[in-house]
Amino acid sequence: MSASQYRIVQSSGASRIAAALGLIVLALLVLAPYWAGRADLRLLGEVLLYLSLASLWNLLAGYAGLVSVGQQAFVGLGGYALFGLTMFGGLHPVLAVLVAGVIGGLVAMPVAALIFRLRGAYFAIGTWVMAEVFRLSAAQVSALGGGSGTSLPTPVVQSLADGRDAREALSYWLALAMALLALAVVYGVLRSRNGLALTAIRDNELAARSLGIDIWRTKFTVYVIVGALTAATGALLFLQKLRISPDAAFSANDWTAFVIFIVVIGGIGTVEGPIIGVIVFFLLRETLADLGTTYLIILGMFAIGVMLLAPKGLWGMVRARSDIQLFPLRRKVVAKPKD
């Protein structure tokens, strides 16, 4: 048989069913402002923004091996960029979110050049220190309320859309668009040549270098993309909250600890993991939040349980039993049917 008798397939039966179901879920989500109450809509918006953060962190840590515990630096940067650009630059909030993303990407470049000198645990600590530097810097900006923070002025909020319902709907749709964009970018990167390179680096750095992969540049690209999208997500998070302070914007707990929890219990290093994780996390939060601190104890025990019993997360457990992929990344060589 000659090579021309083979072809490459990427989709599978499962992925086609998943795509069909995904479209139905997407339609329901797009229409949410018409069927969900105000509180539910806010919750859904938050879920979607967490999905964005989790997918991005998964690309960073699960695929590029860059275990950052300082992504709150970019969440906070995006939030503060939104406030600064709308309050002093006179930008429309939606435009400000886009510019916040660009700023996030630009800031990620020198940050990467600096912290890429660190390896493993030192890299993680470096990212955290960087986030603290950002937090302390933000507290120095008196125009944005210094250490106690500030609220988004009413005219800025009103410029978003007429009426509270319309504003909340728009804010929700922006969150939905952000989550879709993050998923699309993550999936797109992984399917591209860069994605192959990332997986190769993860498997064997020596062979990767010898086959022409510039490891530094590959990781740098991922870090900058993730920085940009994380900042845009941060801007949207604080567009929902309408209030910002250094402690809330650069919270390691909210923007990194919970995000890591989501990715790890869902399944790190899989596109599906963060989706599963974010659903589980919010189910736990919404059903147990009334328990106060007990809720955090249960959350911690749940995380420990998953790590012990299913170290590759819930989706990893599924993958161990069947080679199912909802977002197919495998390229299978199949023989063309004889005609």
Partner 1 sequence: MSPILRLDQVSKAFGAIKVADSLSYELAAGEALGVIGPNGAGKTSMFNLITGTMAADSGRLFLGSEDITTLSAPRRCRSGIARSFQVPQPFGGMTVFENALVAATQGADMALGEAEEHCLDILEQTQLMAKANVPAGKLTLLERKRLELTRALCARPRVLLLDEIAGGLTEAECGALVETIQSVHASGMAIIWIEHVVHALLSVVERLIVIDFGRKIADGEPRAIMTSSQVQEIYLGIGANA
| 206 binding partner 1? (CB under 8 A) | yes
Q: What are phi and psi of 101, to 5 degrees?
A: -60, -45
14 binds partner 1 (CB under 8 A): no
Q: In the complex, what is the shortest distance from the CB of residue 300 to partner 1, in angstroms, rounded to a whole number?
A: 30
Q: Three-state SS across 183-217? A: HHHHHHHHHCHHHHHHHHHHHCHHHHHHCCCCHHH
Q: How far is the CB of 22 from partner 1 (least distance, A)?
A: 24
Cβ neighbours of residue 140 closer than 8 Å, sequence gap 6 or more: 146
Q: How far is the CB of 62 from partner 1 (least distance, A)?
A: 13
Determine if 2 is a binding residue for partner 1 (CB under 8 A). Answer: yes
Contact 258, 101 (CB under 8 A): no
- φ, ψ dihedrals at 137, nearest 5°: -65, -45
Going through the chain in order, the beta strands assigned E by DSSP cover 6-9, 150-151, 243-244, 332-335
Task: Kindly report the length of the chain.
Answer: 339
Of the candidates 119, 122, 79, which has an alpha carbon nearest to the alpha carbon of residue 103? 79
As measured in angstroms, the least distance from the Cβ of 270 to partner 1 is 12
* First vs last C-alpha separation in the chain: 14
Judged by CB under 8 A, does residue 12 bind partner 1?
no
| Residue span binding partner 1 (CB under 8 A) among the ranges 141-149, 178-186, 208-216, 296-304 | 208-216
Can you tell me the distance from the alpha carbon of 235 to that of 33, in angstroms, rounded to the nearest whole number? Answer: 21
Among 26, 207, 289, 296, binds partner 1 (CB under 8 A): 207
Q: Does 1 bind partner 1 (CB under 8 A)?
A: yes
Give yes or no for residue 322 binding partner 1 (CB under 8 A).
Answer: no
Stretch that binds partner 1, among 15-23, 78-86, 308-316, 331-339 (CB under 8 A): 331-339
Single out the residue of 61, 56, 42, 39 nearest to residue 234, CA to CA: 56
39 is an interface residue for partner 1 by CB under 8 A: no
| x/- letters, 211..240, toward partner 1 (CB under 8 A) | xxxxx-------------------------
Query: Which of 200, 257, 279, 317: binder of partner 1 (CB under 8 A)?
Result: 200
Q: Which residues bind partner 1 (CB under 8 A)?
A: 1-4, 6, 8, 192-193, 196-197, 199-200, 202-204, 206-215, 330-333
